[in-house]
Amino acid sequence: MVKVILHGSNGHMGRIIDSLIAEDPEIEIVAGVDRVSGAVNPYPVFSSIENCKVQADVIIDFANASAEDALLDYCVTKRIPLVLCTTGLSEAQLDHVREAEKHVAVLKSANMSLGINTLIDLLHRASDVFCKAGFDVEIVEKHHRRKLDAPSGTAIALADAVNESQGNVYHYVYDRSQRRQARDDKEIGISAVRGGSIVGEHEVIFAGMDELITFRHTAYSRAVFGKGAIEAAKFLAGKGAGHYDMADVIAAD
């Protein structure tokens, strides 16, 4: 049984993970951490990670970026592996993550969805066929109207999968409104749509002469990210220091 501390236990993703773990016999939450009180949890909840004295095998983090530095220090001191799902980290915090990875296992991914990470794996292989045959590559991502950043980190990760597989010969184009010229052979167009309550949709288009191949992933709820984080926690428990991502989780299955 994998024992988890849930960092950000009373937030939206924390509640989703709570409900998913309650139905999983291989993992349990032994403590939560959240500055917001008032929720009824079947485990103790602490206002900060420094106050948590409960022993665990791994921490799942879906909290605010402002709490990340204290969490990383705690993980290093206690030697507890970390599934890091919090976004919006500063460059200084990303440096802190890289330093922590020298001492403890840290799994960080642009998207925790098992489907997206399997798609990334497929793109590495598909690109070898389509890019070498001269197909153009376009990526379209869609999210809810409240999402602040564009394009999404996942869209960039998908573009990177194509680019890395071809020796990083591509450049990215985010806006063609000021360009009156035909696309060149080594560009990947990335477009963002914002509206309504779209959880997340990503489409990778390989466009050739008289032929079109599309890879699409649609998230219908945020539970897909919670499921991925749980599988990542099971994988990471007991692992040695270093950087891990969801590709490692998928490869282990």
Q: Is there a binding annotation on residue 19?
A: no
Considering the domain architecture, whether residues 210 and 127 belong to the same structural domain is answered as yes
- Among the listed residues 96, 143, 202, 217, the single catalytic one is 143
175-213 residue pLDDT tens: 999 889 999 999 999 999 999 999 999 999 999 999 999
Considering the domain architecture, whether residues 93 and 144 belong to the same structural domain is answered as no
Q: Over the chain, what is the mean pLDDT?
A: 94
Instruction: Verify whether residue 147 is a known catalytic residue.
Output: yes
Q: Is there a binding annotation on residue 112?
A: yes
Considering the domain architecture, whether residues 105 and 123 belong to the same structural domain is answered as no
Two tokens, residue 205 = 């288009």
Q: Is there a binding annotation on residue 117?
A: no
Three-state SS across the chain? CEEEEEECCCCHHHHHHHHHHCCCCCEEEEEEECCCCCCCCCCCEECCHHHCCCCCCEEEECCCHHHHHHHHHHHHHHCCCEEECCCCCCHHHHHHHHHHCCCCEEEECCCCCHHHHHHHHHHHHHHHHHCCCCCEEEEEEEECCCCCCCCCHHHHHHHHHHHHHCCCCCEEECCCCCCCCCCCCCEEEEEEEECCCCCEEEEEEEEECCEEEEEEEEECCCHHHHHHHHHHHHHHCCCCCEEECHHHHHHHC
81-109 residue pLDDT tens: 999 998 888 999 999 999 999 999 999 98
Domain containing 232 equals: 2-112+222-251
Q: Is there a binding annotation on residue 100?
A: no
Work out the average pLDDT over 121-125.
Answer: 94
Predicted local distance difference test score (pLDDT) of residue 32: 96
Specify the number of domains making up the chain: 2
Work out the average pLDDT over 112-134.
Answer: 95
- Is residue 253 scored above 90 in pLDDT? no
- Is residue 116 scored above 90 in pLDDT? yes
- Is residue 110 scored above 90 in pLDDT? no
- Per DSSP, what are the bridge partners of residue 54? none
Considering the domain architecture, whether residues 108 and 227 belong to the same structural domain is answered as yes
- Is residue 46 scored above 90 in pLDDT? yes
Predicted local distance difference test score (pLDDT) of residue 99: 98
Considering the domain architecture, whether residues 71 and 145 belong to the same structural domain is answered as no
**CATH code for the domain in which residue 125 is found:** 3.30.360.10
Give the range among 33-42, 47-56, 167-176, 211-220 with minimum mean pLDDT. 33-42
**CATH code for the domain in which residue 234 is found:** 3.40.50.720
143-187 residue pLDDT tens: 999 998 899 989 999 999 999 999 999 999 999 998 899 999 999
Considering the domain architecture, whether residues 105 and 46 belong to the same structural domain is answered as yes
Predicted local distance difference test score (pLDDT) of residue 38: 66
Q: Measuring CA to CA, which residue among 9, 2, 12, 10 is closest to residue 225? A: 12
Instruction: Please enumerate in sequence order all residues whose Cβ is within 8 A of that of 146, keeping only pairs 6 or more positions apart, or say none.
Output: none
Work out the average pLDDT over 40-57.
Answer: 93
Predicted local distance difference test score (pLDDT) of residue 238: 96
pTM over 0.95: no
Predicted local distance difference test score (pLDDT) of residue 40: 79
Predicted local distance difference test score (pLDDT) of residue 75: 98
Predicted local distance difference test score (pLDDT) of residue 28: 98
- Among the listed residues 3, 78, 124, 147, the single catalytic one is 147
